[in-house]
């Protein structure tokens, strides 16, 4: 039988950059261990922050990701939408580039991430505040 479970997760305030949040996501879905197989959808309810999966071991990767994102979409670009500050429109572009949604398979009660993979919150604003995630779990229970 297919089960559906949904939780909302409000993340703490993170400074601008790329932040490993795998443990916060996993801690918010205690039912995960009951699933033999399925999917976890992680959706961020914001347009100036995003989600991605990448290296979970070396924190230098997160610094380099921020550097690369800023080079791809610098605040010095001639944007028209500037009423919310110089970091706002670049944040929207970066959020679209990385995306608002992740689909992670579940295998034997765990997220089936690779050995070196983790879930990142990509905070693209200088003062983005707390970010909201919707976590939707579906699959077959044990």
**All domains of the chain in start order, with CATH:** 2-141 (2.60.120.460)
Q: How confident is the model at residue 65 (pLDDT cuts 50, 70, 90)?
A: very high
Q: How confident is the model at residue 8 (pLDDT cuts 50, 70, 90)?
A: very high
Show the DSSP H helices in the chain as ranges: 22-27, 59-72, 88-98
| Structure confidence at residue 1 (pLDDT) | 79
pTM: 0.96
Please state, rounded to an integer, the average pLDDT across all residues of the chain.
97
Query: Which among 28, 38, 11 is positioned nearest to 120, based on CA atoms?
Result: 11
Q: pLDDT for 26-59, tens place per residue?
A: 999 999 999 999 999 999 999 999 999 999 999 9
Q: pLDDT for 97-107, tens place per residue?
A: 999 999 999 99
């Amino acid at each position: 039988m297919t089960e559906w479970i949904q939780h909302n997760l409000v993340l703490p305030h993170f400074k601008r950059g790329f932040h490993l949040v795998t443990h916060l996501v996993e801690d918010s879905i205690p039912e995960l261990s009951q699933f033999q197989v399925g999917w976890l959808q992680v959706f961020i309810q914001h347009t100036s922050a995003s989600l991605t999966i990448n290296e979970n071991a070396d924190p230098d990767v997160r610094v380099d990701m921020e550097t690369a994102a800023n080079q791809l979409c610098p605040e010095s670009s001639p944007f028209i939408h500037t009423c919310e500050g110089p970091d706002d429109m670049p944040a929207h572009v970066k959020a679209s580039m990385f995306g608002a949604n992740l689909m992670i398979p579940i295998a034997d009660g765990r997220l089936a991430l690779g050995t070196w993979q983790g879930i990142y919150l990509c905070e693209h604003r200088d003062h983005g505040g707390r970010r909201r995630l919707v976590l939707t779990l579906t699959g077959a229970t044990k």
